[in-house]
């Protein structure tokens, strides 16, 4: 009996883990608002450290980030500034941050977007800007989110305002100095066309405009698209006829580059 009482006493005095607190918050948000507020202040202090010194080893930041992103929808007023703080940190320090932190920040923003705390257009434009980062895994996740979210936004009815704004935004991305960001932006246009999300004249015109960009790979992609090979590649990227078509396009672009010198 004594040992049983000791175990119960230790259980009552043991510190609450983030996972435990997250479950408690979902059951009773009002009852744990003070505790969440304290954790949020600590989280914002860690954010400030990363803003000043992004390479700082803050081992507790990623678990706390996951907790804050999950419970923020329970406290929309208290956590109203969280999405913007996360986005600004990524915008300012994306290449300097540890890859784990960088990717966790993106995951948190996507979660907050799914919970209605981040407008679709705001996060999509931020994701396009972040395609400049020197992190291949991060760029792949950004690309996947952009395609999936644009498709989701247009699933029930077309959001023409978002589509036009984003297509105009992509035009600027294709023309920018970052070849990698331009390449991914063009890939988004082609993929959304292939998926019948942006299958319109505006998309065709934007992709066609890439024929005049300074990056050879983008000109190849644009030619590939205009010749109708995008659906062939999507169905079977190992098809010999498709590969021959792509090879001939690369040769044409290379010859064009030589003749223009």
> Within a 10 A sphere around the Cβ of 127, how many other Cβ atoms?
25
How many percent of the chain have pLDDT more than 90? 70
Give me the pLDDT at residue 142, please: 98
Mean of all residue pLDDT scores within the chain: 85
What's the rounded Cα separation, in Å, for the pair 120 and 153?
Answer: 8
CB atoms within 10 A of CB 37: 12
Residues recorded for the chain: 261
Task: Count Cα atoms within 13 angstroms, Cβ side, for 54.
Answer: 18
pTM as predicted: 0.81
Segment 52-75 shows an average pLDDT of: 92
pLDDT band at 229; cut points 50, 70, 90: low
φ, ψ dihedrals at 102, nearest 5°: -60, -50
Between 80-94, 144-158, 201-215, the lowest mean confidence (pLDDT) is in: 201-215
Mean pLDDT of 142-164: 95
Percent of all residues in the chain with a pLDDT value above 70, rounded to a whole number: 82
């Amino acid at each position: 009996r004594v040992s049983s009482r000791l175990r119960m006493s230790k259980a009552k005095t043991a510190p609450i883990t983030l996972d435990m607190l997250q479950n408690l918050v979902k059951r009773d948000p009002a009852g744990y608002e003070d505790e969440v507020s304290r954790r949020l202040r600590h989280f914002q202090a860690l954010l400030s450290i990363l803003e000043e010194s992004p390479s700082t080893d803050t081992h507790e930041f990623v678990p706390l980030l996951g907790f804050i992103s999950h419970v923020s929808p329970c406290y929309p007023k208290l956590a109203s500034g969280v999405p913007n703080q996360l986005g600004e940190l990524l915008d300012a320090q994306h290449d300097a941050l540890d890859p784990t932190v960088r990717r966790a920040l993106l995951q948190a923003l996507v979660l907050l977007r799914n919970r209605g705390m981040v407008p679709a257009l705001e996060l999509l434009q931020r994701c396009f800007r972040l395609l400049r980062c020197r992190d291949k895994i991060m760029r792949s996740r950004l690309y996947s989110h952009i395609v999936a979210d644009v498709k989701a936004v247009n699933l029930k009815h077309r959001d023409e305002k978002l589509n036009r704004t984003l297509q105009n935004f992509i035009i600027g991305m294709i023309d920018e100095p970052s070849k990698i960001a331009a390449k991914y932006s063009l890939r988004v246009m082609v993929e959304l066309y292939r998926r019948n999300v942006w299958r319109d004249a505006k998309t065709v015109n934007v992709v066609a405009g890439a024929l005049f960009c300074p990056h050879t790979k983008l000109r190849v992609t644009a030619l590939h698209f205009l010749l109708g090979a995008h659906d062939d590649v999507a169905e079977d990227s190992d098809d010999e006829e498709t590969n021959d078509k792509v090879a001939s396009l690369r040769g044409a672009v290379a010859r064009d580059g030589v003749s223009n010198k």
